[in-house]
A and B are shown apart, each in its own frame.
Chain A
Amino acid sequence: MSELSFGFRVAWRHLRIGVMNELQYRANFVVQLIQSVVATGTGLVVLSLIFDRTDQLDGWTRPQLLIVMGVFTFVGGLIGFVIEPNMGRVMTDIHMGTFDYVLTKPVDSQLLASVREFRLWRLTDVVVGGVVLGWGLSGLDERITLFDTAGFVFTLIAGTILIYCLWLALTAGAFWVIRMEMVQELFTGLYRAGQYPVTIYPSWLRLTLTYLVPIGFAITVPSESLTGRLTTERVLITAGFVVFGFALSRWIWRIGTRRYSGASA
């Protein structure tokens, strides 16, 4: 069996265990659903306040901003489902010295560290985000071409991978400085900026939100592809940046794990 397919089987097994675990706590689904609805409802109120005063925000109409909000919620749900819990667990493991259990397994440590925890109910955000996205799409005047759809799917996957890479690199920072909890707060704070297209921000912030914290790639670029703004050039840049980001974060992870020394091992 090749190493890769073995890795995927391990990931799949962990996902199943994680889902079964979460299914024990069904009431949490209702709680999470209320939270998703409250958050999205607030977002919709804000949009209506904006469009009480104007009919476009820097060229983006109401349905187009609904699409941005949908993608924002959707990607946020994915982050909460798999990226945040796993990276949080890695930070705790490093802190407590239990990261040994990851390193001693015969699977790639990055893969294993990324698939151990799932918060199933955070997927409600994926559903709610999908609904908002659909609502926005139904309000568009233009038709969406096949190129737009393909561009959307591709840039959405690429952008989410980039967010994962950022988290991985930040988490690996815990190998050096141990206390990284505030980094999560920082990310959560910055992520909120993705509710609007990053193009509305002043250039220093826009560049930060695109290349340093790739919210631009994860939210704005996919939304651009559904609103007729995507260019082939942008697709190529995204592809290149994913390869670069993935290689860089994996490199940081590797150096970090080599630096790690457990207290108990």
Chain B
Amino acid sequence: MTDTVRSGAVVSQPIEYEGGVRSYARLYATLIRTSIMEGFQYRVSNYLYMIGMVTEPVIYLVVWSTIARGQGGSVEGYTPGTFAAYYIVWTLVRNMNIVFTPFGWEERIREGQISGHLARPLHPIHYDLGNFAGWKFVVIVLWLPIAAVLTLIFKPDLDPSIAQIATFAIAIWGAYLIRSMLLWILGMVTFWTTRVSAMFEAFFAAELLLSGRLLPMTLMPDWVQTLASYLPFQSTFGFPITALVGPITNRELVEGLLRQVLWISIGALGVRLMWQRALRRYTAVNG
């Protein structure tokens, strides 16, 4: 409380009860603003992190461009140019996809940080969503020069329509929400057991193969594509990337967005149920 009072602006007016939507909006605005400022303070370490991350798509890009060239220029319609577009867009989508890690739950629980969250009036996921959303704005700014360099080196073949650009702009935030909630649900398993790392690694391996993170899904065997269509992973990688890179019809764009809405609803429900059960397991000493 003392912090709020000391910050000046708030002092002049008494704290009033605000409507639900307004208080959410203010919470998010504050969280986003704070994390943007924080993000720019640590821009060097943010950069090192991003450069390490860029290796992954560059590996895939080089390997699959090599194969495309060896096959007379293309694999399933993907040329080195379209692969380049896919994996450069990938780097932005991946950055949007970095959310609170499931490995972080162990510390949250061990250090009793959950207790602090319980004292707050809103569901704790809002604090993570707001925090990381702010960081995304920093990431997008830092990403631009990396994208420019990659574009100069790999010469991507990218020609999206207005509808594709608009869908992409929405879909990356949809992907962000879905992956945030998925990893929250996964991370909360830590309330039941601490031997979670093998399970998390298995999850990430499945995600790698079923999301379009490793390869455009059309290059996967048919049964993998069928399996993936029932799972949420594609909504977080393959769909946003393909939305911008193509080939994709307007109908598929709308379907993809609707599928994201579906997974956001399922995710929100999952987070809610899991959190309720997890709290029953939680006890803190001196928290």
Contacts and interface: CB of A to CB of B under 8 A. Distances in A.
Tell me whether A and B are bound partners: yes
Interface of A: 27, 30-32, 34-35, 38-39, 41-42, 45-46, 49-50, 52-54, 56-58, 179, 181-183, 185-190, 192-193, 195-196, 200-202, 204-205
B71 A195 contact: no
B252 interface: no
A49 to B, nearest CB: 7
A31 B198 contact: yes
A204 B62 CA distance: 13
B56 A50 contact: no
Interface of B: 45-46, 48-49, 51-56, 58-59, 62-63, 66-67, 70-71, 75, 153, 195, 197-198, 201-202, 205, 208-209, 214-215, 219-221
A200 B66 contact: yes
A214 B182 CA distance: 37
Contacts of A183: 48
Contacts of A50: 63, 67
A193 B55 contact: yes
Given A31-B197, A39-B201, A186-B51, A202 B153 contact: yes
B215 A49 contact: yes
B67 A189 contact: no
Given A27-B195, A35-B201, 16 more contacts: A30-B198, A32-B198, A34-B201, A34-B202, A39-B201, A42-B209, A50-B67, A53-B71, A186-B52, A189-B51, A189-B55, A190-B52, A195-B59, A196-B62, A200-B66, A205-B58
A38 B54 CA distance: 22
A190 B54 CA distance: 9
A190 B55 contact: yes
A52 B224 CA distance: 14
B214 A46 contact: yes
A54 B197 contact: no
Contacts of B62: 196, 200-202, 205
A195 B59 CA distance: 9
Contacts, number: 90
A196 B64 CA distance: 12
A42 B208 contact: yes
B53 A189 contact: yes
A186 B49 contact: yes
A223 to B, nearest CB: 16
22 contacts: A30-B198, A35-B201, A39-B205, A42-B208, A42-B209, A49-B220, A50-B67, A53-B71, A53-B219, A179-B45, A182-B49, A183-B48, A185-B52, A186-B49, A186-B52, A187-B52, A189-B54, A189-B55, A193-B58, A200-B62, A201-B58, A202-B62
A38 B202 contact: yes
Which of A39, A49, A54, A185 has the most B CB atoms < 10 Å from its CB?
Answer: A49
A187 B220 CA distance: 30
Tell me if B's interface is mostly helix, strand, loop or mixed.
helix
A200 B202 contact: no
Contact of B45 (A182, A190, A195): A182
A205 to B, nearest CB: 7
Contacts of B214: 46, 49
A241 B241 CA distance: 42
Contacts of A200: 62-63, 66
B52 A189 contact: yes
Contacts of B66: 57-58, 200
A48 to B, nearest CB: 10
B215 to A, nearest CB: 7
Contacts of A34: 198, 201-202
B222 to A, nearest CB: 12
Given A54-B67, A189-B53, A182 B48 contact: yes
Nearest to A45: B209
In the A-B complex, list the 6 residue pairs whose CB atoms are closest, starting with the nearest.
Answer: A189-B52, A34-B198, A186-B52, A182-B45, A182-B48, A189-B55
Contacts of B219: 49, 53
Contact of A35 (B49, B70, B198): B198
Contacts of B195: 27, 31
A195 B58 CA distance: 12
Contacts of B48: 182-183, 185-186
Nearest to B209: A45
Contacts of A195: 59
A181 B220 CA distance: 36
Contacts of A38: 198, 201-202, 205
Nearest to B68: A53
Contacts of B153: 202, 204
B56 A192 contact: yes
